[in-house]
Amino acid sequence: MDVKKLGRIPDGGGHKALGRQAGRTTRKRMGLDCAHSAVDDHTRLAYSENHADEKAATCAGLLHRAAAFFTAHGIDRIECVLTDNAGPYRKSFAWRDALTDLGAVGKLTRGGMRGEVIQEALERPRFCQRISGAEH
C-alpha cells in the first residue's frame, strides 16, 4: 500500500490548460488529495481511493475496503501488507487492528519506496478505469 499526494486541479483547468499566467489565478489554496492504493503482488490488481488525508483511520479503512475488493475478484487471502515508513503504518493501533482482522502481517520497506504503481497509473491514465462511488 502507498499514498501519493496530488495537487487538486481547479474547475476549468490549471496552468497546463489555461497557460501559466491565467492558471495562476485559479489555483489559490486548492490543496492536496491523497491517492491511497493497494496492489496485489501476484495479479497486479490494484485498488485506489482519493481522500483528503492520510490519517491512520483512513488507511485502516482503505485496507478493509481493498481486502473486500480483492475478495470479490477471487483473491481470498492477504498474508502480508508492504508499506512505506509513514506514521499511520508504524504507530497506529487502527492499522494494527485492521491487519489483525485480516490475519495479515505488516511489513515496512527499508526506505526509498516511491509509489511506482501510483506513478505508473499517473503516466498511463488510459490503462486505468475510474470507478465512481455510485457504481460499486
Q: What is the pLDDT of residues 55-66, one digit of tens each?
A: 999 999 999 999
Per-residue confidence at 13, pLDDT binned at 50, 70, 90? Answer: low
pTM for the complete prediction?
A: 0.71
Query: Are 34 and 3 within 8 A, CB to CB?
Result: yes
122 vs 120: CA distance, rounded Å: 5
Looking at residue 116, what is its pLDDT? 55
Summary mean pLDDT of the chain: 77
Nearest to 37 by CA among 127, 119, 102, 95: 119
The region, left, alpha or beta by phi > 0 then psi within -120 to 50, assigned to residue 29 is left
Range 30-59 average pLDDT:
88
Q: Which residue has the higher pLDDT, 21 or 117?
A: 21
pLDDT at residue number 96: 93
Q: Which long-range contacts (CB under 8 A, 24 or more apart) does 90-95 make?
A: 91/56, 92/56, 92/59, 92/60, 93/56, 94/56, 94/57, 94/59, 94/60, 95/56, 95/59, 95/60, 95/63
Mean pLDDT of 100-114: 78
The bridge status of strand 105-108 relative to strand 46-51 is: unpaired
The secondary structure of the chain in percent helix, strand, coil, rounded to multiples of 5, reads 40, 20, 40
So what's the pLDDT on residue 4?
A: 85
Label residue 118 by pLDDT band (50, 70, 90).
low
Block residue for cell numbers 481493498 = 66
pLDDT average, residue stretch 98-119: 74
